[in-house]
Each structure stands twice: as C-alpha cells, then as structure tokens.
C-alpha cells in the first residue's frame, strides 16, 4: 500500500518537474532516491542489528543462523546459536522494526489529521492510557491475579500469568483513553482538532496521575511499572508478534487507505469537505487506525517516546509533505530508528544489563528535535 501511494505522488511530482523545474519546488528527482535509500537502509539494518548482543558471536555465525532461520541454509550444528539468533535477536529486531514503523506511521497520521506538528501518540493520551492499563494489570497481577487464578484453577482453567495480562490491559487502556479523548473533544458535527488535542492532554494528565497513584499504593510493583513505562523489548520474543500484528495490520490498512484523505485534510476541514471528503468519518477512521497501531506497540514494548514525533518531521524535510511518500517513508524510517535504538539499549551496559529503549530514544530524540526546531525557526 505505501509503495503504491508513493508511486502516485511520485508521478505527480514527476510531471510537475517535467513541466517546469524550479529549484525550490518539491522535486521528485530527489524523492525516489531518498526513498530507495531509506528502504535499503532498513533492509540492511535488519540482519546487522542481530550482530551485537551479550553472547559474543561471530558475524558469519549470525548470518548463517539467520539464513537457516529463513530456510536458505542448513541449520548449524549448535542449536543454542539458533536459539540466540533466531529466537531472541531476530525476534527483537522484528518487533522493534514493526513498533518503530507503527509509531512513526501513527505520528504522520496524527499530525496530518490534527494538523498539528506536535501531535503524536502522547498528545492524544493513547500512550498514557496504555501505561495506565498496564500499571493496573501489573499491580493487580500480584494480588487479584493470584486470587483469581487460584479460584479458577479449582475448576481446571489455567489463567495466563499476570505478565501475559499486561499487554491486553495496555491495549484496552489505550483504546479507552482515545475514546475518552474523542468523546471529550467532540464538537457539533465532528471533532475539532484543537479540542481533541486539549482533551487528549487532559486525559493524559489524569491517567498519568492515576499511574502515579497506583505506584504509590503498590510499592512492590513500582520497579516493573517504571521499567514498563520507559519502554523495553527485553524478554519479548516471537510470542508477542501475534498481538503486534493484530493491531498493526488493521491500523496500517486504515491509515494507508486514508493517505489521500490526509492530503485533503491539510486544506482544513471546511475546504476538505468542499473537495468531497467526508471529514468526520475520515478523521475517525485515521485516528482509530493510528491509535490501534500505537496501542499494539505500547502493549508489546511499553511507552517509547519521540519516534512518532521526530521521524515524521525529519522525513518531511526530505520527502516533502505529500502523505503517500511520508507514510511509506515513516514505516522504514521509524523501523530503522527503533532497531538501532534497541541495539544501543541492549549493548551499552556490560554484563547483559539493558537500558529501557524509551530512554535511548528520548536521549537521542530530544536534542535532535530541539536542533530541528531551531533550524526551522
């Protein structure tokens, strides 16, 4: 979908430049190479990011195991190699690239829908909702979870452990928070973009306070809540993939099919309606898609900031402001960024210790974003 849309806009640019070329216009001459470079970078990043890790492995071994995992080579003798590379590292890299892509695509969609350069999954309270849901699950996991599973085990139903409850709880929290923000921000005849953002900020503030309350009341779970809120891929494996894909695929589909609507929405609600767009429905559709993707990411990896904010801004400098190339570029750009942020997070400290990847993205993204803002103003 993204490639097709990119091609559409690409053609737009192509004929524009053939018509009369101006140095200041968005030139497709640099659109395609930039896009190809991004995709190539993404493709190369995936295997390379499998190289570093706490278990020292030679590059040849890693690539051999990767090839075997893809069925391109005979599996190596050492089964632990397959385990480390195929089960742990490759799974993490895949999760990271999907999450990064999802967050960046959601960022593009949210910034487009709300016509606000500061919009990202945080602004609408989506991340806060997920964090709140997860915190409740973690805190209750200790108390109610035990009681409930004890009760249920009597009738031979085994409940998934509290850890497995965190992800669905985060998903539910994210969707509830979004629904709350939209409900608060609804105006007559649709959502007004300012009020949706204000409502999102209000929801985020309230839920943040709720998380703090849970932490204060339930001291034994503080560490895991804090770590979860910082965002991390530690210990996530292929078993998280179904949940991620279940939110990523429909969300991406909703956003990708709305790519032209995003272009039309840049004209403002009124003109978008006059150009034939059903503004209320398109906005709901795009918001739901973006939230769905975000919720899945937050459910799997916790709250990872700045990807959804920084990636769209950088890409806009390179790819212009047509949403087709932007969405496609965001998938690759966000994926690459988060994969390497995760590599940093797991390899900076010695002895198998990890940093939360959210800390890495914030540490990298904060100053970078500040620079970007300074350069543009």
Partner 1 sequence: MTQRAPAPDATPAGLASSQDTGQGTSQAASPFEARPASGGPSATATPPMLEVRNLRSGYRGRPVLQGVSFAARGGECLALLGPNGSGKTTLLRSLSGVLHAQEGEVFLQGRSLVDMKPRQRARLAAVVPQGGEYPRELTARQMALLGRYPHLSWLGCYGRKDYAAVDEALEACGAAALAPRRLAELSGGELQRVLLARALAQESPLLLLDELASGLDMARMAGLFDLLERRRAAGACVLMAVHDCNLAAIYATRLLGLKAGKLVFDGPVDAVFTEEKLSALYDIPIGVLPHPLWGLPQALLARAHGPRSHDSFAACPGDACFGDAGAGPGFDAVVSFGPAAGFTNRDAGR
Q: Which residues bind partner 1 (CB under 8 A)?
A: 4-5, 7-8, 11-12, 15-17, 19-22, 24-27, 188-189, 257, 259-261, 263-264, 266-271, 273-279, 316, 320-322
Least Cβ distance, residue 120 to partner 1 (angstroms): 18
Least Cβ distance, residue 312 to partner 1 (angstroms): 13
Over its C-alpha atoms, the chain yields an Rg (Å, rounded) of: 22
Evaluate whether 121 touches 294 at the Cβ level (below 8 Å). yes
Least Cβ distance, residue 370 to partner 1 (angstroms): 21
Q: Return the SS3 of 286.
A: helix
Cβ closer to partner 1: 111 or 361? 111
Cβ closer to partner 1: 17 or 87? 17
Q: Name the residue among 234, 280, 270 with its Cα closest to residue 96.
A: 234
Cβ closer to partner 1: 12 or 164? 12
Alpha helices by DSSP H, listed for 231-376, are 241-257, 259-265, 269-274, 279-301, 307-319, 323-347, 357-376
- C-alpha 286, offset from chain centre: 15
Evaluate whether 1 touches 252 at the Cβ level (below 8 Å). yes
Residue 139 φ/ψ, nearest 5 degrees: -65, -45
Cβ closer to partner 1: 145 or 322? 322
Q: Return the SS3 of 186.
A: strand
Cβ closer to partner 1: 7 or 192? 7
Least Cβ distance, residue 179 to partner 1 (angstroms): 25
Least Cβ distance, residue 25 to partner 1 (angstroms): 3
Least Cβ distance, residue 317 to partner 1 (angstroms): 9
Alpha helices by DSSP H, listed for the chain, are 2-19, 31-48, 59-69, 79-82, 90-114, 126-142, 144-154, 162-185, 193-217, 222-230, 241-257, 259-265, 269-274, 279-301, 307-319, 323-347, 357-376
Cβ closer to partner 1: 16 or 67? 16
Least Cβ distance, residue 270 to partner 1 (angstroms): 5
Cβ closer to partner 1: 21 or 153? 21
Evaluate whether 282 touches 258 at the Cβ level (below 8 Å). yes
Six token digits for residue 7:
């091609």
């Amino acid at each position: 979908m993204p490639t097709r849309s990119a091609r559409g806009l690409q053609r737009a640019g192509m004929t524009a430049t053939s018509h009369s070329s101006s140095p200041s216009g968005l030139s497709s001459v640099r659109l395609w190479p930039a896009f190809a470079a991004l995709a190539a970078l993404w493709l190369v990043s995936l295997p390379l990011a499998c190289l570093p890790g706490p278990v020292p492995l030679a590059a040849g071994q890693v690539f051999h195991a990767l090839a075997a995992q893809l069925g391109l080579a005979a599996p190596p003798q050492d089964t632990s190699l397959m385990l480390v590379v195929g089960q742990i590292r490759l799974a993490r890299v895949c999760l990271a690239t999907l999450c990064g892509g999802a967050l960046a695509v959601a960022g593009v969609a949210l910034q487009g829908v709300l016509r606000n350069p500061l919009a990202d999954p945080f602004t609408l309270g989506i991340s806060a909702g997920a964090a709140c849901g997860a915190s409740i699950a973690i805190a209750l996991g200790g108390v109610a979870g035990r009681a409930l599973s004890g009760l249920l085990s009597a009738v031979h139903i085994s409940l998934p452990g509290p850890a497995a409850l965190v992800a669905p709880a985060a998903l539910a929290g994210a969707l509830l928070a979004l629904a709350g923000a939209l409900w608060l921000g609804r105006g007559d005849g649709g959502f007004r973009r300012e009020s949706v953002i204000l409502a999102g900020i209000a929801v985020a503030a309230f839920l943040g306070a709720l998380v703090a309350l849970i932490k204060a009341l339930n001291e034994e779970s503080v560490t895991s809540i804090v770590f979860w809120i910082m965002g991390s891929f530690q210990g996530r494996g292929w078993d998280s993939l179904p949940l991620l894909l279940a939110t990523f695929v429909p969300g991406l589909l909703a956003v990708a099919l709305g790519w032209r609507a995003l272009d039309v929405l840049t004209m403002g609600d009124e003109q978008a309606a006059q150009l034939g767009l059903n503004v209320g429905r398109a906005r709901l559709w795009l918001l739901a898609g973006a939230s769905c993707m975000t919720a899945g990411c937050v459910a799997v990896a916790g709250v990872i900031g700045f990807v959804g904010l920084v990636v769209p801004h950088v890409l806009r400098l390179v790819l212009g402001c047509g949403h087709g190339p932007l969405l496609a570029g965001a998938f690759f750009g966000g994926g690459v960024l988060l994969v390497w942020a995760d590599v940093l997070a797991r390899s900076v400290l010695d002895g198998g210790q990890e940093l939360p990847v959210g800390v890495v993205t914030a540490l990298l993204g904060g100053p970078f974003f500040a620079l970007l803002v300074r350069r543009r103003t």
